[in-house]
Structure 1
Amino acid sequence: MTSHPPIPARVVLLCGPSGSGKSLLAARSGLPVLRLDDFYKEGGDPTLPQVLGSTDIDWDHPRSWDADAAVTAITELCRTGRTNVPVYDISLSARTGVEGVEIGRTPLFIAEGIFAAEIVARCQEEGVLADALCLSRGPVKTFRRRFLRDLREGRKSVPFLLRRGWRLMRAERSIVARQTALGAYACDRDEAMGRLADAAAGTNTHVRGTYVRNT
C-alpha cells in the first residue's frame, strides 16, 4: 500500500440503499457532510447505463456516477479543508453550478450517497478513510420512505418513481450485500452513530470491512 504523510482530516463513507436514511443520519451527526449525489453524471452523458429491458436510465448503477471526481474532492477536503463540487439537480438530471465546500479544522467529515461503497478501497489507498458504513432499514420501510421523499421533492415522474421503487425493493438485499462486500459495515442508525462517535474520537479504524478499535 502507498505510504502517505499525515493528513489533517479523514472521511467516513456512508452508503446504503436509496431511502435508508443516510442524509438524515449525516445531518444528525453534527459533522460536516459532502453529498456524493452531486457527482452524478448529466442526463446527456452517452456513458449512462440503462435499466435492462427498458429505456429508463439506471441511476442506481455505479456507472451513472463520477467516482473519480468524488475521490478527488474527498482527498482535497482531507488535505486542504476545502474543495469545489458540482451542484446537481436530480429533477433535471443536470449540474447547475459549482460551489465551494469547507470543513475547517475538523478531523472528520462524512461523505454520503448510494455509491459511497464504490470508493472504499480508493479512499483507503489514499490514506483518508476513517470508516465505511452501510445503513439498512428493510425493503418495505425503505421503499415507503424513498417514494415519499422523491415525490415530495419532485425528483422524477410518478411512474418512474414507482418502477424504480419496485425494482429497488426487490434488489435491496443484494444492494446491501454488494456494499458490504466492497468494505462497508452494515448497521442500523444507532450503531452507525456509535461508530461515528468512535471515529471522531480517534478510537477506531476501518480496514476493508473489519472494525478495529484502537487501544
Structure 2
Amino acid sequence: MLVLGGPSGSGKSRWAAHLSREHRWPIVRLDDFYKDAGDPTLPMSSLGIADWDDVRSWRCEDAVEALEQLCRTGELVAPVYDISASAATGTQQVRLDGAGTVIAEGIFAPYVIEPLRERGLLAGAYCVHHNRWITFVRRLIRDLSEHRKPPLVLVRRGLRLARAEPGIVRQQLRLGAEPIRPKELARRLAQRP
C-alpha cells in the first residue's frame, strides 16, 4: 500500500491519478470515508459547514478495514462521497487486477500509516506539499469549479487552511509520512513494479 497524504489542494489526487495511469495501480480515495451530514459525531466549523479538515469528520477504522480487504481479497466496494451534498452518494468497485501496489490517498491518509504497518501492508507513505499559497490557489480553483460550497465560504476556508498548512504538514510527518514535492514523488516511484 502506497499512502499519499498532504494538505487539501496539494495535488495528491492528481498525482495519484497520474501514477495510476502510468503504472496501472488502483486508487482508494480515502476522502470518500467522510461521515455523512446528520451524523451526530460530525464536527462543524465556525463557517457553518461540516469541518472536513478535522480528523473526527472521517471514518479511519472503516478506511483501514477497506484497505485491508482490498489487499486480502483483491476487490472492494468503496463509497463515493460528494462534498457538496455532505454525504456518500454512491459506490465504486476497486480491484487489484494483479497490481503489486495500491494507492491510498487523502488528507487524512497518514492516519492509516501505523495500522497498515502493523498489518504488514505498508509499502511507503508520503506527504505531498508545495508552498502554502500555491496550494491555496489550486484548492480554490478546484473547489470553485466543483461548486463544493458558496464562493465566500471557500475563500474563508482556504485562507484558514493556508495559515494552518505548516502545522498540517508537521502533523503528517509525525504520523510517519515523508515530505515530498510532487515531481520528486513521480521520479522516485518511476521504478516501482
For the criterion TM > 0.5, the same-fold answer is yes
The structure 2 residue matched to 1:191, chosen from 184, 187, 192, is 184
Q: Is the 8 A contact 2:47 2:153 kept in 1?
A: no
- Counterparts of 2:96 and 2:89, CA distance in 1: 22
Query: What residue identity is the alignment partner of 1:109?
Result: V
Detail structure 1 runs of 4+ shifted over 4 Å in the superposition.
Answer: none
Distance 2:65 2:59 in 1: 10
Find the counterpart in structure 2 of residue 21 from structure 1: 11
1:44 and 2:38 correspond: yes
Q: What percentage of residue pairs aligned between the two structures are identical? A: 49
* CA positional deviation for 1:181: 0.5
Q: 1:123 aligns with which of 116, 127, 135?
A: 116
- Find 1:139's aligned residue among 107, 132, 141: 132
- Is the CA contact 2:27–2:94 (under 8 Å) kept in the aligned structure 1? no
**Could you list the runs of 5+ residues in structure 2 that have no partner in the other structure?**
none
Structure 2 distance, partners of 1:131, 1:196, is 10
- Equivalent position amino acid for 1:19 in 2: G
Q: 1:58 aligns with which of 48, 51, 57?
A: 51
Q: Which amino acid aligns with 2:32?
A: D
- Structure number with the bigger relative contact order (C-alpha 8 A, sep ≥ 6) is 2
Deviation of the 1:122 alpha carbon: 0.5
Structure 1: where are the runs of 5+ without partners?
1-10, 202-215
**Equivalents in 2 of 1:65, 1:158: separation in Å?**
24
Q: Which of 118-127 and 29-38 deviates more?
A: 29-38
Distance in 2 separating the partners of 1:196 and 1:79? 23
Structure 1 length normalisation: TM-score? 0.84
Choose the corresponding residue for 1:32, options 12, 26, 32: 26
Calculate the aligned-residue CA RMSD, in Å: 1.3
Give TM-score scaled by structure 2 length: 0.93
Question: How far did 1:109 drift?
Answer: 1.4
